[in-house]
Structure 1
Amino acid sequence: MSEVTTAAGQASAPAGYLRVLAVREFRAVFAAHLLSMLGVIVAEVALAVLVYDLTGSPLMSALAWALGFLPYVVGGTLLAGIADRFPARRVLVGCDLVCAVCVLPMTAPGAPLAVLLALRCGLAVVSPVFAGTRMATLADILGDGDLFVLGRSLLRITAQSALLVGFGLGGVLLTVVSPRRALLVTVGTFLASAALLRLGTRRRPARARASGTLVTDSLQGARQVLADRRTRALLLLFWIPPAFAVAPEALAAPYADRLGAGSVGLGLLMCALPVGTVAGELFAGARLRPVSRERIALPLVCVTLLPYLGYALHPGLAVSLLLLLVSGAGSAYTLGLDQWIVRDVPEELRGRAMTLLTAGLMTFQGVGMALAGVAAELVGVAGAVAGAGAVGTVCCVLSARAVRGTDRRDGADRDVTGR
């Protein structure tokens, strides 16, 4: 079969998740991702409990969670050059080992609070480098077509599922062992992830030659990435919707309390958005063709936050869950964005662009959570979520227009995608 025929076939029909899992290297990346995600979630639960036990302060316990978001911008800007100037496998394995080294001292009895928080920051600094390198490596393993899009989708589905399972496992684990012993599980998952990536993926050369110091190279790469109008518009479209989408999760506890839903209701409110996201991605990945995913991406991103407006009516638990499920399903727009970002970013900048994408995503979500809390103090929880839906929809529409306006493809390509 010719390359042209193969490409046409991939454009006309979904590749399917099973075809992605049939790639041996991807299976190693997938298994490593699952292990490290579970380990990180257990660490977050255990560390929050440990900090609360040491201080008795809800604020300090919340700070331990916040430190999982805020330092992302440091690693994503100052260390992004690592993703392109070193072989990807070496970077991935090295990041896992650094994370294991950061967690291990947390397990020592008597480790002071300042050390625990500093090590938590260390994990967050390394994370965007790892995530960006892995995302760029997926394009090497799966190509830059539909298999890449479905591979990214499968990793996101795994992350959402790991959140649902991991918090439960973390809670059960802490009923039988101390928080410090629970952190040993995280050390083991990072080491297992490093072994899988070292043995399950092949060595590839660095994408770009080193030029100057790491920080200088990283900042220069960030400037190059953001200087391109198309890439900048795509990154903003990745970042902006999640910044508003986190509002219901950030405010789930006070909203459940207002409804009198108890701990069960709180758990359901926390799970609804991830469940909707998984369902939407599975449907789009398994049933829609690549052309269709690209065609619906911009319209879908413009409406995905609209269900939040229903909070203005102060709905009960059942209706709130339905609104969150529908909004989460709208996240299927990311499959179309994935195709554009891997196609339009130059290969020599791909690692830095993906690292910047990850850092910005986490930072915007952290800021969004903080702003949701401020808004809730001013207008109440329901008003804050509804406001996030209204303001977020306007921002999404403006971002979608910017992406459409920077489409550089020729007329034939636009005809294929329906744009």
Structure 2
Amino acid sequence: MVIVHDAAAGPARGYRSVFRVREFRPVFAAHPLSVLGAVVAEISLTVLVFRATGSPLMSALTFALGFLPYALGGTLLAGIADRRPARRVLVACDLLCAACAAVMVLPATPVAGLLALRCAMAFVAPLFQGTRAAALADVLGPGEAFVLGRSLMRMVAQSAQLIGFGLGGLLLTVLAPRAAIGLTAAGFLGSALLLRFGTRARPARAAAARTPPLAGLRAVLAGRRLRVLTLLCWLPPVFFIAPEALLAPYADGIGAGTAALGVMMCALPVGTIAGELWAGSRLGPRARSRLVAPLATVAMLPLLAFAVRPPVPVVLAALLLTGLAHAYGIGLDQWYVDAVPEALRGRAMTLLSTGLMTFQGAGMALAGLAAEFAPVHAVVTASAVLGTAVVVLLLAALRSAGRGEQGPRNETDPAAK
């Protein structure tokens, strides 16, 4: 498949150059619509199910169903990302989610139906995310513009989640939960329209069309270097997620109020957004690549401050510093896309997002389980130590894989040398 992108954009020079690519703008505009829709649906549906059943367990299950189908959907549907035209896949996923949300609005839909529809929306989410990531490389090219575009999408998702939780809570003070879910349907429909009429029709990747889906997934993980890169994307979030998962009991344990808890919950994503903005706007591709290993290695070290059960200001500083160190993700994105065969890019990106969500969910569960047997501050401290050790081991394995595998490498990737 020939990669076509707007030649008028020229070489990437920061985030502004990405917006010069005409086709990227509707993709970017569609992203917050779908993210906000998903977040509002998550809050509204949780409230709706609790009011209908009076069961905290059912309410929690509704929230968990946003994560549980990820692994199954990503595994079974990943091949579609390469075997079908990207625009068709993206629009179909958005329309399916809009239809599910529209059915949720109907008063006759029972609780079991609401949960099944929630599963259906989560089931196609990894396919949508993987296909969109692969399509970004087609729109922007697989170089610096791609990693900057992916960085923008990541920051928009984090910002939209923060806004969406507040907006969802506000909406539920003036609207019934089913009415709020109706806005979700409108958001997904708006995203589908932007993608359908704002992006170019491209054929499926011909080489992938002849490859069975599961064989394609095995091919993604067959190479040692790509396998280690995938683990480097998947495993650190298992440990990064521990403080966020345990902030509520930690705040309660040190006597902090709900306002302090809210501020602490925002610290890590705010730091992450600031770090990515700095790396994307101030650093070139070579500098971002050189920073991957050192930043990834030290990223969790600020969380060691939890060992002394610190007060709120110290917690805020630790979380902000950890978030800032996430700037290494831009360089890691470039390493990953350089290592993925173009014909398998859609499957690789779908697998990447599937594993990321699955491992984050597992990290939350493991942190909560550990906190049943040990103090919260000790669990966060142990997570930082273990997470740092895992990153160091993976970086060492990546250097070894770079020396042992033949083929083209990114000259800006120190780990490949």
Distance in 1 of aligned mates of 2:117 and 2:286: 44
> Which residue of structure 2 lines up, in the alignment, with residue 139 of structure 1?
137
Q: Quick check: 1:75 aligned with 2:73?
A: yes
CA distances 1:340-364 after superposition (whole Å, capped 9, x unpaired)? 1111111110000000000000000
Distance in 2 of aligned mates of 1:376 and 1:144: 42
Distance in 1 of aligned mates of 2:224 and 2:126: 23
What is the correspondence of 1:1-400 to structure 2 with a 5 Å cutoff?
A: 10=11, 15-208=13-206, 217-400=212-395
Distance in 1 of aligned mates of 2:208 and 2:229: 26
RMSD: 2.0
Identity of aligned residues (%): 59
Provide the aligned length of Structure 1 versus Structure 2. Answer: 406
| TM-aligned CA deviation for residue 414 of structure 1 | 4.9
- Describe the SS at the equivalent of 2:174: coil
Distance in 2 of aligned mates of 1:412 and 1:141: 22
| TM-aligned CA deviation for residue 409 of structure 1 | 7.3
Q: Which stretches of structure 1, 4 residues or longer, exceed 6 Å deviation after superposition?
A: 409-412
Structure 1, 347-356 or 305-314: larger mean CA deviation:
305-314
| TM-aligned CA deviation for residue 110 of structure 1 | 4.2
Which structure 1 residue ranges, 5 or more long, are not aligned? 1-5
Taking structure 2 as the reference length, what is the TM-score of the superposition? 0.93
What amino acid is the match of 1:71? P
CA distances 1:395-415 after superposition (whole Å, capped 9, x unpaired)? 111112222222257899657
CA distances 1:65-115 after superposition (whole Å, capped 9, x unpaired)? 211112111111111011001110000000100111122221121422222
Contact 2:290 2:413 in 1 (8 A): no
Structure 1, 262-271 or 53-62: larger mean CA deviation:
53-62
| TM-aligned CA deviation for residue 36 of structure 1 | 0.5
Distance in 1 of aligned mates of 2:396 and 2:119: 36
Distance in 1 of aligned mates of 2:69 and 2:356: 12
Distance in 2 of aligned mates of 1:380 and 1:414: 46
| TM-aligned CA deviation for residue 260 of structure 1 | 2.1
| TM-aligned CA deviation for residue 57 of structure 1 | 2.6
What amino acid is the match of 1:226? L
Distance in 1 of aligned mates of 2:133 and 2:150: 7
Taking structure 1 as the reference length, what is the TM-score of the superposition? 0.93
| TM-aligned CA deviation for residue 60 of structure 1 | 2.2
Distance in 2 of aligned mates of 1:306 and 1:155: 27
Contact 1:291 1:417 in 2 (8 A): no
What amino acid is the match of 1:406? A
Contact 2:23 2:198 in 1 (8 A): yes
CA distances 1:370-414 after superposition (whole Å, capped 9, x unpaired)? 001001111121111111111111111111222222225789965
- Describe the SS at the equivalent of 1:204: coil
Contact 1:301 1:400 in 2 (8 A): no
Distance in 1 of aligned mates of 2:115 and 2:33: 23
What amino acid is the match of 1:167? F
Distance in 2 of aligned mates of 1:410 and 1:83: 25
What amino acid is the match of 2:343? E
